Structure 1
Amino acid sequence: MDEITKKEIIELLKQSSKPLNFNQILYLSGIEKKVLRKTLRTLIIEGKIIKFKNGKYAPCEVLDLVIGTVDGHPDGYAFLIPEDKELEDVFIPPKKLNGAVHGDKVTARIVEFRGKKEAHVIKVIERGFKRVVGRIEKSKYFAYVIPYEKKFFYDIYIPNKYAKKLKDDDVVICEIIKYPEKGKNPEGKIKKVLGNLYDKGIENKIVLAKYDLRINFPKSVKKEVKETADFYFKNAGERTDFTRLFTVTIDGEDARDFDDAISIEKTNGGYILYVHIADVAHYVRPGTNIDKEAYNRATSVYFPEFAIPMLPEKLSNEQCSLMPNVERLAMTVKIEYDKVGNRKKTSFYQSIIKSDYRLTYNYVNDLIDGKEETDDENLKYLVDVSKELTDKLIKKRKRIGMIDFDLPEATFIFDDDGNLIDIVPFERKFSHRIIENFMIEANEAVAEYLEEHIDISVFRVHDYPDAKKVKEFNKMCQFFGIDVLMPDEITPEMIQKIAEKVKESKYGYVLGSMLVRTMQKALYSIDNIGHFGLASESYTHFTSPIRRYPDLLVHRILKTLLFRYDYKINKEYLGKAADHCSNMEQNAESAEREIHQYKKLKFLLENRDKVYDAFINRISSNGFFIFIEKLLLTGFVHISSLDNDYYVVDIETNTIFGKASGKKYRVGDFVKVKVDKVNFDYLEADFILVE
């Protein structure tokens, strides 16, 4: 579609003294009828113009309308998140939503009411939800779907003709056929019944459907992989042979997609590090079915029991995976360091490698700690020199201000029948730090090279945190008895010092998580603003092309520059791809966070008599929130469950105290709790105290 045509229509509407209908625009513009109709639709979706109920069109700019997305709240109100990032979020009262729901793109007018700004929705431009996943509540003549999206604050009415075969607590995918209007709930019909709420593994189906994650690949993609994978391996092109380098992969116990391997040497002048990355770009060519599917997925997603890969297994776990004792195609970054770990020279190669060992983090860490021994002198050498260089890199990065939050994640332990039997915090070992630091070095080296040699690339960027949020965090630390001074200037070094102080406290995880929430989200962008968290002026993602599409794009750009790879570097495409990959990454993170929460809540129900150590991390008007460190789980204790006294809440001092006993509950206090009830609709758990 011609951008000139769009501009012409907008200018025509601006110059008109009143809104125009289709025939008037057709006559005045002279644009062909089909083109005009399509262009008007596009401009409405883009939020540039609005179509009134009488069929007339007007530019949003002239009407002083703001375009944004509705961010709903379970209580029925919402906020407008403007597309213009210079504008602040604005409150939308329930009666001013005008049929809009969470996720909708809307035009709205900003007004003042009692001295405060609020947004009134004028028109829905594009619906955010066309279907929802939820559970059934059945009555005699109809049913409702209770959405598993608490910000979607309506239950969806299912007429009897669609509801006859449904049962209470059926989990369904529901298509919305009518949106809310004039006080009526939205209406829907059932597209698929996923099972019952209490079926084993139903939580996996819920999250897969809710976040539109597909495990299986289209037949056309599988066929293409089968036809091309072996051909591309046999036709590898010009390669540097690194098969004689002693090389290893270091990954988790259950990993199967090995996309990085390392080799290392100690020299008279310092060190030479080789970071070998699977050459996915050689197998996944631009414009192919495999490439289109990888782009759509943009990232692999990891559930406790399985993964949803970005690439088919034939590539991700076989042809591209850097398995031991077989030749594999790679992109190698050779980095030469001085004796204190400063990069002196970087070289890039299209290579062929052969990994000598598939190592695990646990085994390498045991070698470092002396709990394991090996007779292989090459392996001893690699581990010793890797540790030595990593120590220097950590010191260097700490000196420049890299922030290391080091927050544990939950590890889910299943028996042979797939039953969840325990949840424990994941322990980050020094072996993890070796690979993390080596990958950061390679990513940064590639970013710096691309920025120096080409006008356009894809960067991993991380903006400065919001000073207001940092100030609120510092205030919260005081309630936990931790004195953190507000810095005059927010720098990576200052945040690093705050993170270290928080980590040393007994509330390290909760406060560390709160500190993370003061940070901006890291994103992909063609505009390099640096990476605040890593204290890096230029950073990208290069080291995981099996599971991240931006890495594949960066490989293509690098190969085009250095190795005559057939790829047209297009700024507009790369910008859209960066935005898409950022959105898909956030979608994946939300899915992973949600499936973890489901597993934890089901584990609580199956162990409802178990008592947990917890501490109070926030006081509210009707109780307090607790954090269970073993499960890395937040829950709530309602004030009504404290039945041995009349308790009063003092929000100012973050305290709940008993009138008669004087018993106090404060932020930071340790308590013992057990589960009272679980709400799967909101993914929340209520607890009671155990004296």
Structure 2
Amino acid sequence: MTNRTKWQAHLPTKDQVREFITSSTGPVGKREIAKAFGIKGADRIYLKQMLKELLEEGVLEKGHRRSINPAGTLPPVLIIEITRIDDQGEAIAKPVKWDEDTPPPVIFVNNKTGNRKGPAPGVGDRLLARTHRQPNGHYEAKIIRHLKAAEGPILGIFTRTGNNGRVQPTDRKNKKEIVILDEYSKGAQSGEVVICELLPGRQFGLPEGKITERLGPMGDAQSISMIAIHTHGIPYEFSETVKKEALKAKPVTLGKRTDLRDVPILTIDPADARDRDDAVWAAPDDDPENPGGWQAIVAIADVAYYVRAGSALDTSALERGNSVYFPDRVVPMLPHELSSDLCSLHEGVDRPVMAVQMWFDKNGKKLRHKFMRALINSVASLTYRQAQDSHEGHPDEQTEPLKPILDSLFEAYKALKKARDKREPLDLELPERKIELNEDGFIKAVTKKTRFTAHMLIEEFMIQANVCAAETLIKKKRPCMFRVHEPPDQDKLEGLKETLSDMDINFAKGQVMKTATFNRILSQAKTETDRELVSALVLRSQSQAVYSPDNRHHFGLNLKNYAHFTSPIRRYADLLVHRSLISAHGFGNDGLSDEVADNFDAIGEQISNLERRAMLAERQTLDRFTAVYHANQVDKIFEAKVTGVTRAGLFVSLEPTGADALAPISTLGHDFFIYDQDRHKLIGERTGVVFQLADKIMVRLREVDIPTGSMVVSVEEEDGSSAFDAKARGKSRRALSKGRKPGTAPTGKPRKKRTTPKGKKRAQQRKSHQS
């Protein structure tokens, strides 16, 4: 340890020097450190000795051109590999070479590199890049050179051309077709979805490949889901080892478990539910000191009993992270023998559970709770519609004898709702759609989901159980995988503020953000379109929810302690929470090991990424299903809602299917459109026509690309006239800038003439000539 004399007391400590180097974004050497701390003369000897010790301790390391970096710092130029594409289309990478014991830093790839040409990077691509460290420890990378295309199998649509054929990749970023010679076609026919691999040796022209697997016709429902499964690398088959472990599983006996089989507990799920994670029960609290209070039990499938840490089942579940749901199928996290049978809380059979019993006062405030490892026997498996009909006085044959049980559940929910309303979680108006398939697996209808009180009842019971799990693990000082939703970043709120000012809704950007603030904003929206617009903007301003061992709270639910506990059949995070609860209560030897607990940071990042992968695959599959549905409706006029505004044009959602389509800016009318990024608007410079989020417009379907699920539309009325023509005829609609005169700015003031240097010179020349 470097010792400081009295006359050196003003010099920095090791921690201060290390903090300075870590927080610096540019290269740091002895000169920069000396300048930052005012170190001069003989004091430089002290600094040199300190840096030597920090290097020997491994805290710092020597970098490029005599710079000094924190340990594990990336070099300024290196080869990186794209690992995933996030929801915003941003590429995330990792260094190809990483010898440290710690996880590699996150690298965000900046593809906006001036005049550099080439395809956008895709998963698996390797790039030579220049990196720049951010204060938060992440890196931004600018591409120098694209080293090679993504490796691995390529999914595409086969088209026969003479004796040979070609494959058009389904990946929207991969525009180049692949030539397939007849000897490598495996008998594929035009229109089939195939998997192929590239053949080596061809340097120029279209690449050659060979088909390794035929998945079926493009129009087939099964092939639509398989495109997403293969594109995103989602494991959909279980190994023989995993299958054998699942087949060995046997029903559980009571043993040391709490016997809850006499409690009339039941499940309430969607009509098409593939598994049943949770069962519920409620009754008035018989404690005289809690008048009007309630007690409730939430019982969750005891997956930890069957999926032991370190087993093949566990390794497979972590690799998947979660179940993935498509319109025609589910890719489960666990094999069918567990997910749909032994772990599923079916009616009339004994099932092992992790249960939490909770007590609430008459206003829904939780008084206490306790966890149990128990055995239940569900009295009924009901749908939301059945529960709702019973609540509204229309029970069927199954729910008639259960009416007292259901009435108690709804009365308990009334109390819980009082506390929920007081808490004020984020309340967005975002309509959801449900796709109904016919017997052939194709879309029969697209309907808006009806949200029953029964839905909200189950949702609130699950939220309370999740809170109990987090609170218990915090109290017992055990590891917990929290569900974290941080407050929105202030920079993201700028666009919301600008748009709200146009709608005469006050929003002070600098204030402390609370869910109540957003709810108050939503309540000020005057029309349904305005409410949808504000809801969409508020949603865009929110942070991405993640899994983390660090409790950074859940902003959207307005809860300080929150962890997913209620769906271990389909989410690995919940299984980890179950194991930690088992260890915390001494419920068995199948709890959470210290080794796994120490790795919670990396596991949290992994399952968060897998969750995003699943969401993207599900969304893209919906796009392809709706593209098939609309394939024979080209040239038809649709009502649409604007869901995104970019420089390239408008993203719209077609009614009633909710299908996504792009309206290129060239179809909006004969005008030059200015992109207002903060207000999410396109503004016609000459006409004053305005397109913005949530606008209702008419569009004509122009193109449908089933392989990619993309569609192109043009903005026009039923008679073929454009938005520009509609304004010229004096049509009144909100997209026409609320009557603003042509040639005016969004503020209503006269638009300033553009004064580029070349424009100024020409103006002076004209003025001189006229004089």
Letter in structure 2 aligned against 1:174: C
Q: Deviations over 1:639-666 (max 9, x none)?
A: 6667xx845535469467698xx79564
Once the two structures are superposed, the pairs formed by residues 420-439 of structure 1 within 5 Å of their partners are: 420-439=443-462
Instruction: Tell me whether 1:394 sits opposite 2:420 in the alignment.
Output: no
Change (3 A) 1:345 1:598: same
Contact 2:299 2:355 in 1 (8 A): yes
Among candidates 579, 582, 585, match of residue 608 of structure 2: 582
SS in 2 for 1:91: coil
Structure 2 residue aligned with 1:280: 303
Instruction: Tell me whether 1:237 sits opposite 2:255 in the alignment.
Output: yes
Once the two structures are superposed, the pairs formed by residues 152-301 of structure 1 within 5 Å of their partners are: 152=174, 162=184, 169-176=191-198, 188-230=209-251, 233-234=252-253, 236-267=254-285, 268=288, 269=290, 270-301=293-324
Change (3 A) 1:140 1:221: same
Among candidates 132, 139, 146, match of residue 168 of structure 2: 146
Contact 1:265 1:272 in 2 (8 A): yes
Once the two structures are superposed, the pairs formed by residues 469-488 of structure 1 within 5 Å of their partners are: 469-476=492-499, 481=503, 483=505, 485-487=507-509, 488=511
Structure 2 residue aligned with 1:565: 589
Structure 2 residue aligned with 1:64: 76
Deviation at 1:609, TM superposition (A): 7.1
SS in 2 for 1:457: coil
Counterpart Cα distance in 1 of 2:603 and 2:665: 49
Change (3 A) 1:238 1:451: same
Q: Deviations over 1:194-226 (max 9, x none)?
A: 234344543122122222334443333232222
Structure 2 residue aligned with 1:17: none
SS in 1 for 2:542: coil
Q: Any unmatched runs of 5+ in structure 2?
A: 1-60, 64-70, 95-103, 133-139, 720-771
Percent of paired sites with the same residue? 28
Instruction: Tell me whether 1:598 sits opposite 2:624 in the alignment.
Output: yes
Counterpart Cα distance in 2 of 1:305 and 1:99: 31
Structure 2 residue aligned with 1:360: 383
Change (3 A) 1:569 1:589: same
Segment of structure 1 superposing worse, 509-518 or 278-287: 509-518
Counterpart Cα distance in 1 of 2:470 and 2:294: 21
Q: TM-score of the superposition, structure 2-length normalised?
A: 0.71
Deviation at 1:507, TM superposition (A): 5.1
Deviation at 1:636, TM superposition (A): 3.4
Instruction: Tell me whether 1:649 sits opposite 2:673 in the alignment.
Output: yes
SS in 2 for 1:530: coil
Structure 2 residue aligned with 1:320: 343
Structure 1 residue aligned with 2:744: none
Deviation at 1:179, TM superposition (A): 11
Counterpart Cα distance in 1 of 2:632 and 2:400: 49
Structure 2 residue aligned with 1:19: none
Change (3 A) 1:577 1:79: closer
Segment of structure 1 superposing worse, 567-576 or 203-212: 567-576
Contact 1:173 1:190 in 2 (8 A): yes
Change (3 A) 1:153 1:495: farther
SS in 1 for 2:498: helix
Structure 1 residue aligned with 2:579: 556
Structure 1 residue aligned with 2:9: none
Deviation at 1:467, TM superposition (A): 1.8
Structure 2 residue aligned with 1:495: 518
SS in 1 for 2:436: strand
Deviation at 1:584, TM superposition (A): 1.6
Deviation at 1:309, TM superposition (A): 1.5
Contact 1:138 1:144 in 2 (8 A): yes
Deviation at 1:590, TM superposition (A): 1.1
Contact 1:409 1:632 in 2 (8 A): no
Contact 2:323 2:571 in 1 (8 A): yes
Deviation at 1:538, TM superposition (A): 1.7
Counterpart Cα distance in 1 of 2:688 and 2:198: 51
Counterpart Cα distance in 2 of 1:599 and 1:502: 34
Contact 1:96 1:121 in 2 (8 A): no
SS in 2 for 1:350: strand
Structure 2 residue aligned with 1:446: 469
Counterpart Cα distance in 1 of 2:310 and 2:643: 50
Contact 1:229 1:315 in 2 (8 A): no
Once the two structures are superposed, the pairs formed by residues 674-685 of structure 1 within 5 Å of their partners are: 674-685=700-711
Contact 1:79 1:92 in 2 (8 A): no
Segment of structure 1 superposing worse, 141-150 or 516-525: 141-150
Among candidates 526, 529, 532, match of residue 552 of structure 2: 529
Instruction: Tell me whether 1:459 sits opposite 2:486 in the alignment.
Output: no
Deviation at 1:289, TM superposition (A): 2.4
Q: Deviations over 1:371-408 (max 9, x none)?
A: 44779787333333333333343342343342133533
Counterpart Cα distance in 2 of 1:99 and 1:88: 10
Instruction: Tell me whether 1:134 sits opposite 2:156 in the alignment.
Output: yes
Change (3 A) 1:376 1:79: closer
Deviation at 1:543, TM superposition (A): 0.6
Letter in structure 1 aligned against 2:419: K
Change (3 A) 1:145 1:348: same
Contact 2:186 2:211 in 1 (8 A): no
Change (3 A) 1:566 1:194: closer
Segment of structure 1 superposing worse, 602-611 or 450-459: 602-611
SS in 2 for 1:489: coil
SS in 2 for 1:557: helix
Change (3 A) 1:675 1:477: farther
Contact 2:246 2:313 in 1 (8 A): yes
SS in 1 for 2:615: helix
Change (3 A) 1:168 1:371: same
Contact 2:446 2:657 in 1 (8 A): yes
Letter in structure 2 aligned against 1:148: T
Segment of structure 1 superposing worse, 416-425 or 274-283: 416-425
Structure 1 residue aligned with 2:10: none
Counterpart Cα distance in 1 of 2:120 and 2:271: 50
Letter in structure 2 aligned against 1:229: K
Letter in structure 2 aligned against 1:601: A
Q: Deviations over 1:102-144 (max 9, x none)?
A: 5536562259xxxxx98243786x9865333223466679866
Counterpart Cα distance in 2 of 1:87 and 1:616: 29
Letter in structure 1 aligned against 2:247: K
Segment of structure 1 superposing worse, 261-270 or 490-499: 490-499
Structure 2 residue aligned with 1:37: none
Change (3 A) 1:393 1:427: same
Once the two structures are superposed, the pairs formed by residues 24-63 of structure 1 within 5 Å of their partners are: 61=73, 63=75
Among candidates 406, 418, 423, match of residue 441 of structure 2: 418
> Highest Rg: 1 or 2?
2
Once the two structures are superposed, the pairs formed by residues 349-388 of structure 1 within 5 Å of their partners are: 349-372=372-395, 379-388=402-411
Letter in structure 2 aligned against 1:685: M
Counterpart Cα distance in 1 of 2:244 and 2:305: 17
Change (3 A) 1:60 1:388: closer
Letter in structure 1 aligned against 2:239: P
Change (3 A) 1:296 1:49: farther
Q: TM-score of the superposition, structure 1-length normalised?
A: 0.78
Deviation at 1:524, TM superposition (A): 1.3
Among candidates 122, 125, 129, match of residue 104 of structure 1: 125
SS in 1 for 2:516: helix
Change (3 A) 1:90 1:275: same
Contact 2:442 2:629 in 1 (8 A): no
Change (3 A) 1:609 1:138: closer
